[in-house]
Amino acid sequence: MNTLALHSAERALRASAPHALPDAVRRVLRQHYGARSVDVLLADYGQTVLQPVGVRAGADDPVRIAGTPAGRAFGAQEPVTEAVADGVLLYLPISVRGDRIGVLGVGFAAEHRPHDTDDTGDGAGTVADLGEIAEMLGHHILVADRDTDLYLRARRRDRLTLAAEIQWQLLPGHSLARPGYALGAQLEPAYDIHGDNFDWSASADDLTLTVTNGMGQGIDAALLTSLTVNALRNARRAGVPLADQAVLADQAVYARYRGESYVSVLLMRFERATGTVDVVDAGSPRVYRLRAGAVEPVPFEPQLPLGMFEDTPYVVQRFEVRSGDRLVIVSDGVYATASPSGETYGEQALARAILATRLVPPTDVPRAVLRELPGYRAVPDAEDDALVLCLDWE
């Protein structure tokens, strides 16, 4: 381990202006590791390409995630080496607590190729050292997002609609991994989403998931969902029980829209010690469970969407998850999508897609399921948002 270089990297990132983090990493890797090129690539909102931060001659084109060394590093969350004519390129995943952000690409001449282990006795840099620096960079990028648009712009392959801008600012991330569980989620169409949303909050004792679907289209749906998500967060952060969170959010939506607009919500609280799950099912999101090689829907007693009527009461239902269970939560834009013959995706095709991805990590399942939709639906263009969230319980 090159302790001096790691300390130097941390000091450089802390001292750097928010927009200058790539330059800070570039200086450290050149000075301490002999790197000749350093590029920061961030995944776009659609999770299809890696986009370079800033502009560097010859490196400003996006890199596809599918079928490229950089994409393999992003997907597998492991370092990947690519041989080039006069050296090597090393791709290191940039992630924070399981949330995959992008890839750090570092180029070396052949004589400066990094070691898999530090067995040279001279403190030379290792792949593990470089991976730690990539992780440092990820943490600093998340903090820097509060003060600069540089990294948010790099995540955009196309221009977001205003509705999508509102929705993406509400999201906690694309994925999360903690001891005992891992999850991933994706929204489509990524650059033109309307009312679908997801949220989560983790603590030492529990995990809370929320899947939201605001009625309507465009900015109206986005504003409705924004009100709902923030009302639920406000109640959750006040320590209010799950059913009362739904009650308070219902009151907030009804006070604003008087029943003319309402929101479908699925609230789930997982108790980490026991696997007990409290649920409030107030609308259209559905849950499918993969257990012992079989996929089945998890039914709940439906309750009214939030904001439909004044002073609606909500009650908690309960079920349990076991070690090895996979839950896939989908919006109506997924399970209600109809084929040319009229069969909805949720009748059989969704179960086949979940089974086909049983060996895929939960971070990749949403994209895999959503890739099937365009070829299944009766019309070429999506008529509704599509949301998929996958949770593995260990």
The residue-averaged pLDDT of 131-141 equals 97
> Confidence band (pLDDT; 50, 70, 90) for 206?
very high
User: Which residues are CB-contacts of 300 (< 8 A; sequence separation ≥ 6)?
Assistant: 279, 281, 287, 317
Is the pLDDT score of 78 beyond 80?
yes
Is the pLDDT score of 262 beyond 60?
yes
Compute how many other C-beta atoms are within 10 angstroms of the C-beta atom of residue 170: 17
Q: Which DSSP category does 111 fall into?
A: G
Per-residue pLDDT at 118: 53
Encode pLDDT of 269-316 as tens digits. 999 999 999 999 999 899 999 999 999 999 999 999 999 999 999 999
Encode pLDDT of 13-36 as tens digits. 999 999 999 999 999 999 999 999
- Residue 138 to residue 231: CA distance in whole angstroms: 29
What are the b/e assignments for 196-231, b being 16+ CB within 10 Å? Answer: bbbbbbbeeebbbbbbbbbbbeeebbbbbbbbbbeb
Give the global pTM.
Answer: 0.91
From the list 268, 368, 252, 275, the residue with the least C-alpha distance to 323 is: 275
Per-residue pLDDT at 252: 98
Per-residue pLDDT at 125: 55
Average pLDDT of the chain?
Answer: 92
For 229, 235, 306, the CA distances from 310, given in Å and listed in that order, are 19, 18, 9
The residue-averaged pLDDT of 237-260 equals 97
